Amino acid sequence: MVSSHHAAAFDGPYDDTSWAALDLADPAAFVENDPYAYWDRMRRSEPVRRHPPVGGRPGFWAVARHRDVQDCYKDAARLGSARGTVLDVLLRGTDSAGGRMLAVTDRPRHRELRRVMLRAFSPRVLRYVEEAVRQRADALVAAVVGAGEADAARDIAEHLPLNTVCDLLELPAADRPSLLEWNKRALSSESAQDDPFDALEARNEILSYFVDVVRERRRRPGEDVISMIAGARVQGETMTEDDLALNCYSLILGGDESTRVTTIGALHALGVHEEQWRRLRTGEAAVHTAVEEVLRWVTPAMHFARTATVDLRIGDAEVAAGDIVTLWNISANNDPEVFEEPRRFDVGRQHNPHLALGHGPHFCLGAFLGRLELSAVLESLVRRVDRIEVLAEPPRVYSNFLFGHSALRLRLD
């Protein structure tokens, strides 16, 4: 049995100097240190903090309280996304997809593009996807039950997100193995040793694949989502093939890692909190509240970032136009002003306004799909599994953006 508290694996509480010295831009920051103790300390001492410039990089603001993070998400007019929404990107320059890919676009273009992209989530499309997701999740869980040691990542979590987006975009089964392979390479920059050029090359493979698909569906439009989006107008013009490809890819980008680590996190949390698993399994707590609690508990996207478009006040801080502002979901989701006993994993938690999927105009476009994938896995577990046994402390993802585990050895009986 493995300890149920993340904190147990980390160093103890921060003293005054170690707290202020932690470099939030360092991917190792929260692999080596306890994030929950850090953010507790920060919310109490300096809830909107100016992070100093380090090693030639610009400084930036870090926002920790639930209330402030939520207000910032809503304030898209003064806190823009077009320069980029991930700290690492903003510290190095600007996002090359800015103004073209939905997540990194500001209004008025964002609003129109979002309306078009929402066509991918029409009831007709979702009905078809929903059934496929349930069947796939159930088959994956069924194959692991009673089969001895398994890896939650390799045997379950990895197969759901990309296939779901492929279903959504009606991509042929024959193309999926290459997409999966490219996508793995494109994301591998998460570990310290990986080659960034290989990742870039893989990303270009995916983009040119989507350019081909877009061309084909423009030539012979069907009833599918890509054909619908390809014919739509944004600010009076149809989108270029490159922009269409980029936005198709963004559905993979947005959904893959976040859903994968949340699924792994769900299995881990239910494995180590036996009482919570019992409540879920016996129906004492509902799958939908468990899904929300898993999202809060894991908070796979630790932060999202914005750039101030004008001078503004956040809490007590004076933020200047052009400043980078980071919104720490992981802190907001553990704010005791909003969540009772935040470090208690409670599958029946009733008041749970977590920000794991963001908030406001950029609220996760794939929220329905992400929740669907998670509930499909939980429903299947409830149906088929008595005991979830975690066999080893899982390895952490090396990132200051993504929080979670990259693998998880377990046994389902």
Task: Please give the residue ranges that form the binding site for ligand HEM (CB under 6 A).
Answer: 73, 81, 85, 102-103, 114, 165, 250-251, 254-255, 258-259, 262, 300-301, 304, 356-358, 362, 364-366, 369-370
| Contact partners, residue 377, CB within 8 Å, separation at least 6 | 137, 140, 141, 156, 160, 263, 266, 267
Nearest distance from C-beta of residue 85 to ligand HEM, angstroms: 4
Residue closer to ligand HEM, measured from CB, 356 or 410: 356
Indicate the residue whose CB is closest to ligand HEM: 366
- DSSP conformation letters of 137-157: HHHHHHHHTTSSSEEIIIIIG
> Is the dihedral angle over the CA atoms 44, 48, 50, 54 positive or is it negative?
positive
What is the number of H-type helices and E-type strands within the chain?
16, 12
Around Cβ 290, how many Cβ atoms within 10 Å? Answer: 29
Cβ 300 to ligand HEM, closest distance in Å?
5
| 14/403 with CB nearer ligand HEM | 403
Cβ closest to ligand HEM, residue 47 vs residue 366: 366
Considering beta carbons, is residue 38 or 73 the nearer one to ligand HEM? 73
CB of 368: closest distance to ligand HEM in angstroms? 8
Q: Measured from the CB of residue 358, what is the shortest distance to ligand HEM in angstroms?
A: 3
At its nearest, how many Å lie between ligand HEM and the CB of residue 298? 8
Q: Name residue, tokens 């290989």.
A: 198
Residues 6+ apart with CB under 8 A from 56: none
| C-alpha Rg value of the chain to the nearest Å | 21
Nearest CB to ligand HEM, comparing residues 95 and 151: 95
Task: Give the number of residues written for the chain.
Answer: 413
Task: Report the nearest approach of ligand HEM to the CB of residue 68 (Å).
Answer: 15
Of 14 and 244, CB closest to ligand HEM: 244
Q: Which of 229, 176, 403 minimizes the C-alpha distance to 303? A: 403
